[in-house]
């Protein structure tokens, strides 16, 4: 794992712990879903982790086969990097992809292993994404 990934991963874990959300490695289940988290009220979630550098990228893609079935207890932990520094952690329910829009996109191709979910991150998307910022999601977990 490179230094940026290690730093971003530490940021994500630190932010979750500050919010009193327990985080642990996912030792069973889908290989791509790297973490389990548990909210203050005991609800458990699977967490698929990604990061995006806002200076160079405008979207991230998640292979549909990696994410698996979209469900309420499956979250995408997206860390937004600005000038290579971790700034914001979003906890996005995987179910947002059930109703694709300009931000949460479904890319289906003939070869199913190439199909993916896409999250667009652009200036006008930030207000929509802010609904999923950790501080705005804590009470929903």
The CATH number linked to 13 is 3.40.1350
Range of the domain at 82: 3-140
CA atoms of 36 and 16, how far apart (whole Å): 11
pTM: 0.89
Q: In this model, does residue 82 exceed pLDDT 70?
A: yes
**Residue recorded with tokens 């990061």:** 51
pLDDT digits (tens, 9 = 90+) for 19-77: 999 999 877 655 556 899 999 999 999 999 999 998 899 999 999 998 889 999 999 99
User: Looking at the 3D structure of the chain, how many domains does it have?
Assistant: 1
Confidence of residue 130 (pLDDT cuts 50, 70, 90): very high
Report pLDDT for 109: 86
* Burial of 17: CB neighbours in 10 Å, binned 0-12, 13-18, 19+: exposed
């Amino acid at each position: 794992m490179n230094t940026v990934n290690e730093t971003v991963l530490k940021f994500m874990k630190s932010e979750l712990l500050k919010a009193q959300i327990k985080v642990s490695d996912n030792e069973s289940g889908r290989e791509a879903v790297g973490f389990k988290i548990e909210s203050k009220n005991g609800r458990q979630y699977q967490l698929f982790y990604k990061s995006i550098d806002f200076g160079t990228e405008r979207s991230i893609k998640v292979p549909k086969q990696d994410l698996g079935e979209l469900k309420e207890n499956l979250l995408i932990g997206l860390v937004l990097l600005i000038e290579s520094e971790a700034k914001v952690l979003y906890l996005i329910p995987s179910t947002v992809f059930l109703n694709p829009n300009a931000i949460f996109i479904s890319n289906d191709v003939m070869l199913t292993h190439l199909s993916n979910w896409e999250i667009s991150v652009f200036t006008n998307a930030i207000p929509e994404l802010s609904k999923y910022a950790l501080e705005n999601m804590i009470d929903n977990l």
